Every structure is written in structure tokens, then in C-alpha cells.
Amino acid sequence: MSAFVFKDPKFARPEGRASKPKGRRTSPPGLFGLRTWKKSRIVLAGIFGAVSIFPLLYMVSLSFQPTSDILTSTPVLIPSHPTFLN
């Protein structure tokens, strides 16, 4: 028994062509499956995050340094003799 298939010529696709999605144009995925604009936004967010967190980490580092190390001309991120006296 064969199934009835309705073939209306105005809805028929040409043979050998795959259908393309309507609407937004798709581009091939880039590195890690992300598009270029999304990768650049992630990189910029990472740079902004690192620049924003650095002063906070420096403040925490200064809180564990003795006063003589804080007032030196060269900044030290990791104190040589940490102290809780500050």
C-alpha cells in the first residue's frame, strides 16, 4: 500500500538543493564554536576584569606588609614578612 503524497508545485523545492533557514543569516562558528564578535567581547571582558581587580588585590597585599615595606619606592605585591599588625 502506498502513501498519498501531496505535491503542490508552488511548495516544491528544486532537486539537489538544501533548504536555507529564513531570517537571520548564519555564519560558520569560529574558535571553540564562538563567532568572532562574541570572542572579542569575552576577551575585552577578561581584560576589563583583570584591570578592575588589580587595585583590590594590591590593597589586600598592602594590608599584610609592614609599614617599612609599604613606604618603599618599589611596590611589592607579595610581602616578604607578612604581618597582621596593620
What is the average per-residue pLDDT within 54-61? 92
* Residue 14 within any structural domain of the chain: no
CA distances from residue 76 to 13, 43, 56 in whole angstroms, order as listed = 70, 28, 14
**pLDDT of amino acid 67:** 84
Q: Map residue 55 onto helix, strand or coil.
A: helix
Would residue 12 count as lying in a domain?
no
Helix count and strand count (H, E) for the chain: 2, 0
Domain that holds residue 52: 34-86
The C-alpha cell that represents 11 in the structure block: 511548495
29 found inside a domain: no
Overall average pLDDT of the 68-80 stretch? 83
Number of domain units in the chain: 1
The verdict on residue 60 lying in a domain is yes
Question: Does residue 47 have a pLDDT over 60?
Answer: yes
pTM value is 0.50
Confirm whether 65 is domain-assigned. Answer: yes
Count of CB atoms situated within 10 Å of the CB of 65: 21
Instruction: State residue 49's pLDDT score.
Output: 96
Mean pLDDT over 61-84 rounds to 85
| Size of the chain, expressed as the number of residues it contains | 86
Query: What's the pLDDT band for 80 if we cut at 50, 70, 90?
Result: confident
Query: Is 56 part of any domain?
Result: yes
Q: Is residue 53 part of a domain?
A: yes
* CA distance readout (Å), 81 to 44, 76, 85: 36, 11, 12
User: Residue 9 falls within a domain, yes or no?
Assistant: no
